[in-house]
């Protein structure tokens, strides 16, 4: 699960938990809390009213009546048999008390009861035992309507759902914005790590953030700088070693030829197979040294290209003619319109097309290899080399462009550098490239189309036949 989804989930879970607690408090706890507060208020009012009644003055009775009126109360003092002794406000529902409840009140217990009054809604009643100097033991009954509380509770319940949904939506929006802000430096570091994995050590993040992510970004920059230095040392070492190979190999080959020429005819004929193997290995080492030098030069100086308009069909036909002498017996065809021209370095592009075709000739077992092209959006030309051979396995497709990778480790044909050289040339051209298997193997790459001369007639681009699946690109 991605960090964004996790952050959304965590924040949504926190908000949902808080909303659940609010629902629990408002829906389940708040009504009981309101009732307890109302009972405590009734008890306090009853004590005040009882004191005013006991005072016996006219002003005291008026004050008791004012308390009842201002708080929408009704208060009575009754005998144990139910006769009214004192009253303020409307008559209370003495009849709502059952005989067992009256007995409990006479025993000194407070009694609270909530019931429905037609036209008034829910009503809360408090009954408690009291002692009046003028009347003796009595029951103090005070009640208040619960309708305002219920209306407020109903309004709160109606607003709770939309408020909860709005709160959850706002939390998700905040989580989205926060995740984007939080993940932005992580994505920069991710792209940097991908570039390092692809062998590009020139990029730098340059973060000025003082947080842990900033420390990580600076550590990645330091790693890229160190790896870039090591890579430069490695390339320089390989180039120097490969260059130093040339002189001793030339000397060995010259001395071997001199020795072969100086031998008697019979001895030279007997040793001819051995000299053949020796010369083949010398030639093999010379070609490997040359390929390593070429790859090192392309990777160390990718910008040294001599780009010029190149007529693609003539170029492809020239490569095909030079490859026709190779073993394999596959028919090489070119399906490229005459009018297609690309911007490329012909000498470097020759390595690309030649190595791709040689791979198909020597390793695919194909009977037909076709070179085709088609126009693509963005003033690009896509070149394909397709064969009808046995194709490539997923592992071979993955390692196709890797240095020293060989699909058959036991093969002594080539050194696994041809496609790496092709990749380096295409990278220098800013091309995309890739490979896929469908009825054989297809290797494709793109080149920038050359601008048509002024006044030239535009021709419809050639479309290579057959359906082509989505092609993975290599940046």
Same domain, 253 and 312: no
Asked if residue 195 belongs to a domain, the reply is no
Look up the CATH number of the domain holding residue 345. Answer: 3.30.565.10
> What pTM was computed for the model?
0.46
The verdict on 261 and 280 lying in the same domain is yes
Distance of CA 76 to the CA centre of its chain: 72
Residues 262 and 335 in one domain: no
3-state helix, strand, coil in the chain (%, to 5): 55, 15, 25
Give CA separation, 185 vs 11, 175, 324, in Å: 21, 16, 54
Domain range holding 117? 3-152
- Partners of residue 449 on adjacent β-strands: 342
131 & 249 share domain: no
Q: Are 285 and 393 found together in one domain? A: no
Question: Which is nearest to 393 in space by CA: 379, 372, 408?
Answer: 408
**461: CB partners within 8 A, 6+ apart:** 337, 340, 374, 375
Cα distance from N-terminal residue to C-terminal residue, the chain = 26
Q: Does one domain contain both 290 and 313?
A: no
**Residues 267 and 351 both lie in one domain:** no
Q: For residue 18, is it within any domain?
A: yes
In a domain, 177, yes or no: no
Domain boundary among 250, 280, 300: 300
In a domain, 466, yes or no: no
Q: Which two three-digit tokens encode residue 444?
A: 């494709």
CATH of the domain at 115: 3.30.450
Residue 472 lies in a domain: no
Mean model confidence pLDDT for the chain:
79
Closest CA to 354 of 379, 371, 378: 371
pLDDT grade for 182, boundaries at 50, 70 and 90: confident
**Residue that terminates a domain, selected from 300, 324, 349:** 300
In a shared domain, residues 336 and 444? yes
Q: Is residue 183 part of a domain?
A: no
Domain boundary (128, 152, 176) is at: 152
pLDDT in tens, 186-245: 888 888 888 888 777 888 888 888 888 888 888 988 998 888 887 777 767 666 666 666
Domain tally, the chain:
3
Residue 70 to residues 22, 255, 279, 339, 467, Cα–Cα distance (Å): 32, 126, 120, 100, 88
What was the pLDDT predicted at 384?
Answer: 92
Instruction: Evaluate whether residue 200 is within a structural domain.
Output: no
* Digit-coded pLDDT (tens) for 334-362: 999 999 999 998 888 988 898 888 888 88
Whether 129 and 15 map to the same domain: the answer is yes
Mean pLDDT, range 2-20, rounded to an integer: 78
Cβ neighbour number for residue 187 with a 10 Å cutoff? 10
Residues 118 and 249 in one domain: no
The residue-averaged pLDDT of 416-422 equals: 81
Same domain, 19 and 128: yes
Same domain for 274 and 410? Answer: no
Whether 116 is in a domain gets the answer yes
Q: What is the pLDDT of residue 60?
A: 85
Q: What is the pLDDT of residue 265?
A: 84
Give the CATH number of the domain where residue 276 resides: 1.10.287
Backbone angles phi, psi at 383, to 5 degrees: -110, 135
What is the CA angle 166-169-175, rounded to 5? Answer: 140
């Amino acid at each position: 699960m991605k960090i964004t989804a996790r952050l959304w989930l965590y924040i949504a879970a926190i908000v949902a938990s808080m909303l659940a607690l609010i629902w629990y408090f408002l829906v389940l706890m708040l009504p009981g809390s309101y009732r307890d507060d109302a009972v405590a208020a009734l008890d306090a009012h009853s004590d005040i009213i009882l004191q005013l009644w006991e005072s016996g003055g006219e002003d005291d009775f008026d004050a008791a009546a004012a308390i009842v009126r201002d708080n929408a109360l009704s208060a009575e003092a009754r005998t144990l048999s139910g006769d009214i002794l004192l009253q303020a406000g409307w008559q209370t529902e003495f009849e709502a008390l059952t005989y067992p409840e009256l007995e409990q009140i006479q025993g000194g217990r407070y009694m609270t009861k909530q019931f429905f009054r037609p036209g008034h809604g829910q009503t809360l009643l408090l009954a408690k035992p009291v002692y009046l100097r003028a009347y003796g033991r009595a029951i103090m009954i005070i009640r208040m309507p619960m309708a305002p509380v219920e209306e407020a509770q109903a309004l709160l319940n109606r607003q709770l759902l939309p408020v909860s949904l709005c709160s959850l939506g706002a939390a998700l929006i905040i989580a989205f914005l926060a995740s984007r802000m939080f993940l932005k430096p992580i994505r920069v570091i991710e792209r940097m790590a991908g570039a390092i994995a692809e062998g590009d050590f020139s990029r730098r993040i340059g973060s000025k953030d003082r947080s842990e992510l900033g420390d990580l970004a600076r550590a990645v920059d330091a790693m890229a700088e160190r790896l870039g230095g090591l890579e430069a040392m490695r390339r320089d070492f390989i180039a120097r070693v490969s260059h130093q190979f040339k002189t001793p190999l030339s000397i060995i080959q010259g001395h071997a030829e001199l020795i072969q020429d100086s031998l008697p005819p019979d001895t030279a004929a007997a040793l001819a197979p051995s000299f053949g193997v020796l010369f083949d290995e010398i030639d093999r080492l010379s070609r490997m040294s040359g390929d390593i030098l070429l790859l090192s030069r392309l990777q160390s100086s990718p910008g040294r290209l001599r780009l010029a308009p190149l007529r693609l069909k003539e170029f492809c036909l020239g490569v095909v003619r030079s490859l026709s002498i190779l073993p394999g017996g596959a028919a090489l065809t070119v399906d490229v319109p005459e009018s297609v021209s690309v911007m490329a370095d012909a000498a470097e592009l020759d390595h690309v097309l030649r190595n791709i075709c040689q791979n198909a000739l020597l390793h695919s077992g194909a009977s037909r290899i076709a070179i085709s092209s088609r126009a693509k959006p963005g003033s690009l030309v896509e070149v394909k080399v397709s064969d009808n051979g046995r194709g490539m396995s997923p592992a071979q497709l993955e390692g196709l462009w890797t240095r020293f990778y060989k699909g058959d480790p036991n093969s002594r044909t080539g050194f696994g550098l041809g496609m790496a050289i092709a990749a380096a040339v295409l990278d220098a051209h800013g091309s995309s490239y890739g490979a896929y298997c469908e009825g054989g193997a297809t290797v494709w790459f793109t080149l920038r189309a050359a601008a048509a001369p002024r006044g030239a007639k535009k021709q419809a681009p050639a479309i290579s036949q057959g359906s082509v699946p989505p092609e993975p690109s290599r940046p």
